[in-house]
Chain A
């Protein structure tokens, strides 16, 4: 099956710094990737849709300038949390869609990146 690699798996940074998270599709091309955010014991909340070769589309309430998304190739999407603050601490998960045998799109997730901002 499809494999999505996410790096780093965890990162600790100081308030005010920027952090970049990478999401790679290892054995398939992903024109679209999705970035989710998950707080402890809560559900996954879609932040944005990353589209190869074009601008990302953000969900309502997600700051575009805060969470920069770049999808420069068919196998790589990056999320940069700019000027991070403690409230940005969370579990960030990327996913790529894969076509199932039934013809429907299913999501394959990366292992997630736990960000802690001090």
Chain B
């Protein structure tokens, strides 16, 4: 099943903060976060591997609560370049090749206005 993200969409003024949540009905092995700008391919932001792990990339950080089967992405002092649709991705382990398929969340459209 597809992870559910909230909110579906959010509009911020430049400099404001936002939180995007990703909830799964299944156990999570790890959580990936991607950002996709309109008409472009998704770009990898970060991956969280352990429950309780927190990571940061510039002013974008994320946390992973394994017990609650959810992850949150935090954007602080948002910039115009942060606009886009954010997707969380949760892997399904394939035993044959040892690869990981990602199931992407429902997406959150973030619009930053000046």
Residue numbers of A with Cβ under 8 A of B are 6, 31-32, 34, 36, 41-46, 49, 51, 93, 97, 100, 102, 104-112, 114
Q: Is B10 positioned at the interface, with any CB of A under 8 Å from its CB?
A: no
Complex formed: what's the CA distance from A112 to B32 in Å? 20
Tell me which residues from 65 to 103 in chain B have a Cβ below 8 Å from any Cβ of chain A.
87, 89, 91, 94, 97, 99-103
Known: A104-B47, A106-B44, A111-B41. A43 touches B102 (CB 8 A): no
Chain B residues with CB under 8 Å of A36's CB are 104
Tell me whether B47 and A43 are in contact (CB under 8 A).
no
Residue pair B41, A93 in contact (C-beta under 8 Å): yes
Identify which of residues 98-114 in chain B touch chain A, using a CB-to-CB cut-off of 8 Å. Answer: 99-107, 109
| Known contacts A43-B107, A102-B47: A112-B41 contact under CB 8 Å | yes
What residues of chain B lie closer than 8 Å to A31, measured between beta carbons? 97
Given A102-B47, A102-B49, A104-B49, are A109 and B101 neighbors across the interface (CB < 8 Å)? no
Contact size class for B?
20 to 34
Closest to A112 in B: B41
Nearest opposing residue in chain A for B92, CB measure:
A46
By a CB distance below 8 angstroms, the chain A residues around B43 are 109
Once A32-B97, A104-B47, A105-B99 are accepted as A-B contacts, the answer to whether A43 and B41 lie under 8 Å apart by CB is: no
Task: Name 20 interchain pairs, CB-CB below 8 A, sorted by A.
Answer: A6-B41, A42-B107, A43-B2, A43-B87, A43-B104, A46-B102, A49-B99, A51-B97, A93-B42, A97-B99, A100-B47, A105-B100, A107-B32, A107-B34, A107-B44, A108-B44, A109-B42, A110-B41, A111-B40, A112-B41
State the Cβ distance, A39 to closest chain B Cβ, in Å: 11
Asked if B21 is at the interface (CB within 8 A of a chain A CB), the reply is no
Tell me which of A43, A105, A108, A114 contacts B106 (CB under 8 A).
Answer: A43
* Residues on B with beta carbons closer than 8 Å to the beta carbon of A97: 99-100
Q: A97-B99, A102-B47 are in contact. List 14 more A-B contacts (CB 8 A).
A: A32-B99, A34-B102, A42-B107, A43-B2, A43-B107, A93-B42, A104-B47, A104-B100, A107-B32, A107-B34, A107-B89, A109-B42, A111-B40, A114-B39
